[in-house]
Each structure stands twice: as C-alpha cells, then as structure tokens.
Amino acid sequence: MAESEEIVVRCRCGQRLFDFDPMTKGIITTKCPRCKAVMAVSIMNRKIKCTEQIAAHAG
Ligand SMILES: [Zn+2]
C-alpha cells in the first residue's frame, strides 16, 4: 500500500488552497477564496514556493 505523499498548499492566511501530487511540476496560479490573494505556486523538485501576486485592489 503506497503511502500518500500529497502536499497541501496553504495561503498565507491559512486557507487550504489545494493539494498536489508530488510528481506535479510547474506553476499554478490560484486565488484564495478567503482573503482573495492571488498566489502563484511554483513546484520544483517537490518543493513549493508561494509568491503572492500583485493585484489591483478593487474598491
Ligand atoms: Zn488567503
């Protein structure tokens, strides 16, 4: 039985954004449903780097 190695990606506010398979590579851009921050998550060699994207403030 294979051990699950899914990695949970969380926003800076703690909101769970998604989890990904360790084999995944690339950059995923997602928007946090809680604080509306747009996060670019780059996945390289099973390491996550989250970068908050600069977004225009609405209102
Ligand atoms: Zn957030």
SS3 5: coil
Cα of 3 vs centre of ligand 1, distance in Å, is: 29
Give bridge partners of residue 44 from the DSSP assignment: 47
Check: CB of residue 7 under 8 Å from CB of residue 48. Answer: yes
How remote is the CA of residue 22 from the centroid of ligand 1, in Å? 22
Give me ligand 1 centre to Cα 45, in Å: 24
Between the CA of 39 and the centroid of ligand 1 the distance, in Å, is 9
Residue with tokens 């969380």: 10
- Name residue, tokens 């403030």: 57
Residue 59: pLDDT band by 50, 70, 90 thresholds?
low
58: pLDDT strictly greater than 80: no
Q: How far is the CA of 58 from the centre of ligand 1 (A)?
A: 16
**17: closest CA among 2, 35, 30?**
30
Percentage of the chain modeled with pLDDT above 70: 85
